[in-house]
Amino acid sequence: MTESYVWVTTRRIREGALDDLRRAWEPTEPPEGMTRAFEWVGDDGRTVVGVSHWTDEASCERYRASDAEAERRERMAPYVESEESKTYSGRELTIPER
């Protein structure tokens, strides 16, 4: 099975700020090495989990340290109350057939 690399961020945002956060989240250009990105929003509308998939750890770490990411985080800051972020390597699991 192929290993993959993901960056997971969970944010608690201000009440009613989801649309603003979504606009601020958009990178100015696609990050090199990012292959997919997902967003899940809790029932409360204030817990937002983002998961981005990367070709490799180095690509993700370069983007995380980039000026573009610093600017993007600055744009999101007014809408974010708290944030937790971590990277993981892993694999897709096979679901047995019945």
Ordered by where they begin, the domains of the chain are: 3-88 (3.30.70.100)
First-to-final CA distance of the chain: 21
pLDDT tens per residue, range 55-73: 999 999 999 999 999 999 9
pLDDT of residue 68: 94
Does the CA dihedral 55-64-51-30 come out positive or negative? negative
* Residue found under tokens 């997902």: 38
Confidence of residue 48 (pLDDT cuts 50, 70, 90): very high
pLDDT of residue 43: 97
Q: What is the mean pLDDT of residues 31-45?
A: 96
Query: At residue 98, does pLDDT exceed 60?
Result: yes
